Amino acid sequence: MAEWFQDNGLLLGLALLDGLSSAGLIFLVAVGLNLVFGVLRIINVAHGSLYAIGAYSAASIGIFLSGLGLPDWAAVPTLILSAALVGAILGPLIERFLLRRIYAQEEVVQLLVTFALFMILEDVQKLIWGVQPIHHDTAMRALGTIDVPFGADFIPFTNYQLFVLPGIAIVTLVGLALFLRRTLTGRVIVAVTTDREAASAMGIDAAKIFLLTFTFGAMLAALGGALSSPTAALVPGIGAQTIVLSFAVVATAGLGQIEGAALTSLMMGLGRSIAVYFEPELEVVVPYIIMVLVLLVRPQGLFGVIETRRV
């Protein structure tokens, strides 16, 4: 083992750096999905569409503002603001006019409705942005690269992927944890998550909390998409790719668990990048292997709690 580390230690170090940025993006999308499920108890398949629309909108707004002469340093704040804009518009629209009508329906109906919404939004994306790849990488280019020593050699990393993505993910995690535990609104959300009926009985306006939470979840999905847009070409189908992995994170973390989503994203991000270095054929399945192993040992997820079935 010591010999293996001596031979591959440097590669493992590179894999850890790669895994961090990957984990950051996974977390941002998955935590929104987890939050929405925790409060609304709806598995929102359209979360992937919000990710995609967040990415497309951020690229479009960035291209538009660049045309107006926006300085490069403003590219990252623009990504965050455009994600907030997408979430603030689409979140209330979807919750108010669609989800609110199906809260009392069976889970399968809820799943079908959000899946239908996902399909509709996929077509809407094609109508608005077409099918050719779109990209806008000012944010990545503006921040430049850093040369990481690698034995006698060096490896260039982009500062955006090495610092910005993990940094925003950490800020989101800490901010979300503080918001949920230290603010009244956050505690109300936790109360609704823990026991919706009891919270309502105590006078909490569940409808308001649902709207707030879904909008916030939509913003997080859009933020994940917006932050991915400087590094990826945007094409039809990116939402579908993302939602599958996000579901794996949510299932592994435990439904409604914020810290669980962070740890699981980190495990999956690192797992995937280590696989690329040492067993590339396993890269695709690593997240799902992690999910299966965790669920075999803890069916409720890493941080999930076993709920008593109420009759």
Binding site for another protein (CB under 8 A): 10-11, 14-15, 17-19, 21-22, 25, 122-123, 126, 130-135, 137, 140-141, 145, 150, 153, 155-158, 161, 228, 231-238, 240-241, 272-273, 276-277, 280-281, 283-284
**Run of H or E residues at 129:** helix 107-129
DSSP code of residue 273: H
- Nearest-approach distance from CB 284 to another protein, in angstroms: 5
* Secondary structure of residue 301 in the 3-state scheme: coil
- Nearest-approach distance from CB 283 to another protein, in angstroms: 7
Decide whether 60 or 200 has the Cβ nearer to another protein. Answer: 60
DSSP code of residue 308: P
- Nearest-approach distance from CB 300 to another protein, in angstroms: 28
CB neighbours of 292 closer than 8 A, spacing ≥ 6? none
Decide whether 158 or 257 has the Cβ nearer to another protein. Answer: 158
Decide whether 71 or 133 has the Cβ nearer to another protein. Answer: 133
- Nearest-approach distance from CB 275 to another protein, in angstroms: 9
How far is Cα 27 from Cα 21, in angstroms, rounded to an integer? 10
Decide whether 205 or 278 has the Cβ nearer to another protein. Answer: 278
- Nearest-approach distance from CB 3 to another protein, in angstroms: 20
Q: What is the largest CA-CA distance in the chain?
A: 66
- Nearest-approach distance from CB 194 to another protein, in angstroms: 35
Q: Which amino acid is at 51?
A: Y
Cα–Cα distances (Å) from 155 to 7, 18, 146, 166, in that order, read 18, 12, 8, 19
- Nearest-approach distance from CB 15 to another protein, in angstroms: 7
- Nearest-approach distance from CB 205 to another protein, in angstroms: 39
Neighbouring-strand partners of residue 134: 234
Decide whether 123 or 205 has the Cβ nearer to another protein. Answer: 123
Structure tokens, 79: 């990504």
DSSP string covering 132-159: S-B---HHHHHH-EEEEEETTEEEEEEH
CB neighbours of 262 closer than 8 A, spacing ≥ 6? 27, 31, 169, 173
Decide whether 105 or 241 has the Cβ nearer to another protein. Answer: 241
Decide whether 244 or 305 has the Cβ nearer to another protein. Answer: 244
Decide whether 14 or 81 has the Cβ nearer to another protein. Answer: 14
Long-range contacts of 238-242, Cβ-Cβ distance < 8 Å, separation of 24 or more: 238/51, 238/52, 238/55, 239/48, 239/49, 239/50, 239/51, 239/52, 239/53, 239/118, 239/121, 239/122, 239/125, 240/48, 240/118, 240/122, 241/48, 242/29, 242/48, 242/51, 242/52
